[in-house]
Amino acid sequence: MRLKIKKLRFLTGRPVCMIHEKTAKKMSLHVGNRVVIKNNHKNKIISIVDTVSGIIKPNEIAVSEEILEILALKDKEFVSVEITEHPKSISLIKKKLKGEKLEKHEINEIIKDIADNALTEVEVAFFISAVYTKGMSMKETKYLIKAMVESGNRINLNGKVVDKHCVGGIAGNRTTPIVVSICASTGLIMPKTSSRAITSAAGTADVIETIARVEFSIEEIKKIIKKTNACLVWGGALGLAPVDDKIIKIERLINIDSTPQLLASILSKKISVGSKYVLIDIPCGRSAKVSKKQAIHLKEKFIKLGIIFGLKMAVVLTDGTEPIGNGIGPILEVKDVIKVLKRENSPKDLEEKSVYLAGVILELVGKAKKGKGYEMAMEILNSGKAFEKFKQIINAQEGHLNHFKTPSFSLEIKAHKKLKILHFDNMIINKIARFAGCPEDQVAGIYLHKKKGDVVEKGETIFTIYTESEEKLHQAKNLYEKDKDKVIEFS
Amino acid sequence: MRLKIKKLRFLTGRPVCMIHEKTAKKMSLHVGNRVVIKNNHKNKIISIVDTVSGIIKPNEIAVSEEILEILALKDKEFVSVEITEHPKSISLIKKKLKGEKLEKHEINEIIKDIADNALTEVEVAFFISAVYTKGMSMKETKYLIKAMVESGNRINLNGKVVDKHCVGGIAGNRTTPIVVSICASTGLIMPKTSSRAITSAAGTADVIETIARVEFSIEEIKKIIKKTNACLVWGGALGLAPVDDKIIKIERLINIDSTPQLLASILSKKISVGSKYVLIDIPCGRSAKVSKKQAIHLKEKFIKLGIIFGLKMAVVLTDGTEPIGNGIGPILEVKDVIKVLKRENSPKDLEEKSVYLAGVILELVGKAKKGKGYEMAMEILNSGKAFEKFKQIINAQEGHLNHFKTPSFSLEIKAHKKLKILHFDNMIINKIARFAGCPEDQVAGIYLHKKKGDVVEKGETIFTIYTESEEKLHQAKNLYEKDKDKVIEFS
């Protein structure tokens, strides 16, 4: 049936269209059914149907902004709308839920249908559950990664293309800008695409966004890299393994992360940007995302997949028990990064870890001899070359190292007696920073004046909470009060 | 925040509201977030947020028909709208996905949140997957059933309240109206609520709807039962264990059916209508929903749960290899039912099975001595009392045994040679009937002139496909042609 687009601007987070109930009846369509919508260029998208009476006329169709954009539709344009069968991939998802293994073409079919929006979020949730509860063999994981890479855009770059990735979860841990600056200054190509924060206080993209643009097209990114060897951009809108983004969005609703999906998520992005050398940082231990045992297990799988995909890979297990750096929150973290690069009053743990990671990369690519990477990385940092490189990158991304805004509200958490700090909990620290407004509120967050091992006198400040909103300060404070005993352990 | 209802009529299959993007920004709301909407009587519902610009003003909110109805909202009425935290039950679903057992209060919390629409369909899908892949102990299943019953309405009736249930999947198998008529004529109380067809050609509600009303309120149903001892109504809108309906709607998307969920689904409905005696019919074998082995397994669980809930329960395994009766489709099946009740040219298999099931019930409740139920049921059927009772019930449901419309199109499938029929496939027979327009098209369906064991001469008709739509006839024919070898086996 041909229906006329009635442009109503509504955003639903998935492709949804509104069809008049009379038309729906004529087409034997029910709420929640799927239709294929085709524009005049035969581009198509699969959409879920809502039925309406009154907003539009029977010969019209209103589509969500997602569809308007993907099909580049204009008001009053005609589209073809047909009911579509349940995709075959549904039975494949069921097969996996039963615990059977999937063949290559079957995984391809599922991933293609996710890419084409032929599966609803509910069906993708069943796929996620199936992979989570039944696992995947190395073969299946390989096919999953390949299918994900093929579903999206690729970046082709000349030179020694290197990437790093951290599985995350550690408050403050902003090593990436430092590692990238050190490595890129030696001529390595580092097309670093990062995410925004999901559950933590800030992602690398949030942090860099406080001083530069992070949203670019692939062509623009290529130009930035040509100029500076590297970039520090947001990966979310580049269409690199976009199926991964869709899966993550749904996983996030229930906060699960299956190993095959984690491996596929990370490696599909690295392969899409053409990396040949990859460093994976797995912070582990108490209050980290993964235990030491899980980290060893993950490392093995990464190494195996690296061989399968012809990547030179280093996987390091780092101490994930405590926050790293003093600042937690977009601006607080970028300040830490700049301190390390400027060699002015660096947070030692952040400096140490960044130089270590950069050293591993320099050895991995053969720039430094075995055992000499750390030394070389530290030399580069001390020489000021890394800071120069960082400024170049920020400059190429239309940014500059400006003065930062002072937060409107703050709250100092003080020691009620003389004590020695034994542990800060990453998860709760992140949560307090989120309550304070991170990452949307760029000045919000936590500054740790003291770290593990420090002795604090009675009345001394342990950490400060910053925010732009009095209400959020209140909420963050309440959370701190509630979880007081868990945030900090002391003796 | 207080927002004014702008009444737009749209149906989304779940509670969705549209909030202006400016207001969403002010409330820090994103697409897909959850809000609690409260009316002036403090009734509330949790809704998913779509953001819009242009359809409504910033101080307005448009809610889907589901919400309009549940909160009884009027145009321009003010509602309170607040962002809501992720419900705690999400972490409980995650716990189950990991394979851990759930406590009573945890299952209660999940079921309550499903009932309150506090969980999205995606989250319910994760719960369904968790139960499907990890199973449930008898204890968990018990808590699930209790929670489901408590989430909905109950019907309290005096007398010996009996119910029957068939796990389904068998084409034509319309025993319920016959069993109910036989049993109710002996004074038993049978508040039979049935479903509409999900994947089969017709459900009991679809079949009875061809001659009577099937949608009633609980109060109306009580009146019908007071008059006739029984009813044959649609259970879908009565709010009996409504969480079950929500779960089934989502299960259906991927066509899975976990054992705990199946048990809970059936027993929660039976307990909600106050049954004390329950007969469960599990057709099994080739082309049925379950194998013999699965049926035995299910039977054991039903018996155990029956004891837990103080139900007198009979569970019978019946032959589910072949369709039962000649007609498959709403009107074709009601005609079969009437033939059996009128004692005129009955399909023998339908008669035989119905009398058998009625006999089991008569023994279960103590109306007949052990081993004498079949005989007693057959006597009642032959006496005409069952037919009288059926007419009473139909009459009380504002129906009558009218003449049926003749279908506009038909296609006879004939034997291409002399053959003996060995097997009809239930699933494909149902599918062809669906393609022909069942159950929406009441006259559509299949009439089996021949059954298993019959010898058919060359050119004789094996079955006829009926429909009101030439296009559907074409589609049904195409499906038959494609699956020809699977529909019928012969020698």
Q: pLDDT tens for residues B164-176?
A: 999 988 999 999 9
Q: How far apart (Å, rounded) are the C-alpha atoms in residues A101 and A144?
A: 12
Which of B6, B9, B12, B68 is most worth mutating to test chain A (most A CB atoms within 10 A of its CB)? Answer: B12
- Count of alpha carbons within 13 Å of A478, Cβ hemisphere only? 7
A37 neighbors A57 (Cβ within 8 angstroms) = no
Domains of chain B: residue spans and CATH: 2-83 (2.40.40.20), 89-135 (1.20.970.10), 162-396 (3.40.1030.10), 409-490 (3.90.1170.30)
Give the pLDDT mean for B281-302.
94
- Asked if residue B66 has pLDDT above 80, the reply is yes
B322 neighbors B423 (Cβ within 8 angstroms) = yes
CB-closest option in B51, B126, B128 to A254: B126
Q: How far apart (Å, rounded) are the C-alpha atoms in residues A189 and A184?
A: 6
On average, the pLDDT of chain A sits at 93
Considering only alpha carbons, which residue of chain B is nearest residue A12? Answer: B50
**A416 class by beta-carbon count within 10 Å (0-12 exposed, 13-18 middle, 19+ buried):** exposed
- Residue B284 identity (one-letter amino acid): C
Residues linked to residue B45 through DSSP beta bridges, in sequence order: B37
Listed as ranges, residues in chain A with pLDDT below 50 are: none
The predicted pLDDT at position B11 comes to: 85
Contact state of B125 with A130 under an 8 Å Cβ cutoff: no
Contact state of B54 with A121 under an 8 Å Cβ cutoff: no
- Asked if residue B13 has pLDDT above 80, the reply is no
CB-closest option in A13, A132, A250 to B97: A132
The secondary structure of residue A198, as a DSSP letter, is S
**Which residues 6+ apart lie within 8 Å of A322 measured at CB?**
A170, A287, A349, A423, A424, A426, A451, A452
The token duo for A282 is 């797995």
B308 — pLDDT class (breaks 50, 70, 90): very high
The predicted pLDDT at position A296 comes to: 97
Q: How far apart (Å, rounded) are the C-alpha atoms in residues A340 and A344?
A: 7
**Mind telling me the catalytic residues of B?**
257
B374 — pLDDT class (breaks 50, 70, 90): very high
Q: pLDDT tens for residues B312-357?
A: 999 999 999 999 999 999 999 999 999 999 999 999 999 999 999 9
A490 neighbors A425 (Cβ within 8 angstroms) = no
Is the dihedral angle over the CA atoms A98, A140, A295, B90 positive or is it negative? Answer: negative
The predicted pLDDT at position B359 comes to: 98
A292 neighbors A285 (Cβ within 8 angstroms) = yes
Considering only alpha carbons, which residue of chain B is nearest residue A254? Answer: B90
What does the DSSP assignment read for B373-389? Answer: HHHHHHHHHHHTHHHHH
Q: How far apart (Å, rounded) are the C-alpha atoms in residues A322 and A426?
A: 6
Q: At what angle do helices B330-342 and B385-396 cross, to 10 degrees?
A: 140
Residues linked to residue A283 through DSSP beta bridges, in sequence order: A318
The predicted pLDDT at position B33 comes to: 81
Considering only alpha carbons, which residue of chain A is nearest residue B92? Answer: A254
The predicted pLDDT at position B143 comes to: 98
On average, the pLDDT of chain B sits at 93
B356 neighbors B281 (Cβ within 8 angstroms) = no
Q: How far apart (Å, rounded) are the C-alpha atoms in residues B261 and A253?
A: 23
Give the pLDDT mean for B100-112.
97
Is the dihedral angle over the CA atoms A48, A49, A54, A57 positive or is it negative? Answer: positive
The predicted pLDDT at position A408 comes to: 94
- Count of alpha carbons within 13 Å of A128, Cβ hemisphere only? 34
- Count of alpha carbons within 13 Å of B49, Cβ hemisphere only? 24
Contact state of B120 with A253 under an 8 Å Cβ cutoff: yes
The token duo for B343 is 């004692």
- Residue A275 identity (one-letter amino acid): S
Give the pLDDT mean for B187-203.
91
Residues linked to residue B488 through DSSP beta bridges, in sequence order: B424
Contacts of B64 in chain A (CB under 8 A): 50
- Residue A323 identity (one-letter amino acid): P
Instruction: Give Cα separations from A127 to A119, A256, A257, B183 (angstroms).
Output: 10, 13, 13, 46
Give the pLDDT mean for B292-307.
96
- Asked if residue B86 has pLDDT above 80, the reply is no
Q: How far is CA B17 from the centre of its chain?
A: 29
Instruction: Give Cα separations from B255 to A98, A474, B295, B324 (angstroms).
Output: 12, 48, 19, 23
Considering only alpha carbons, which residue of chain B is nearest residue A132? Answer: B97
Q: What is the dihedral of CA A358, A362, A364, A369, to 10 degrees?
A: -130
Q: How far apart (Å, rounded) are the C-alpha atoms in residues A1 and A37?
A: 10
B197 — pLDDT class (breaks 50, 70, 90): confident
What does the DSSP assignment read for A112-156? Answer: HHHHTT-S-HHHHHHHHHHHHHH---HHHHHHHHHHHHHTS----
Q: How far apart (Å, rounded) are the C-alpha atoms in residues B293 and B305?
A: 19
Give the residue among A351, A361, A353 at the shortest CA–CA distance from A382: A351
Instruction: Give Cα separations from A469 to A172, A407, A433 (angstroms).
Output: 21, 9, 12
- Asked if residue B198 has pLDDT above 80, the reply is no
The predicted pLDDT at position B225 comes to: 97
The predicted pLDDT at position B298 comes to: 96
The predicted pLDDT at position B343 comes to: 97
Contact state of A120 with B253 under an 8 Å Cβ cutoff: yes
The predicted pLDDT at position B87 comes to: 86
Q: pLDDT tens for residues B410-423?
A: 999 999 999 999 99
Contacts of A256 in chain B (CB under 8 A): 94, 97, 126
The predicted pLDDT at position A254 comes to: 85
The predicted pLDDT at position B362 comes to: 98
ipTM: 0.85
The predicted pLDDT at position B84 comes to: 81
The secondary structure of residue A63, as a DSSP letter, is E
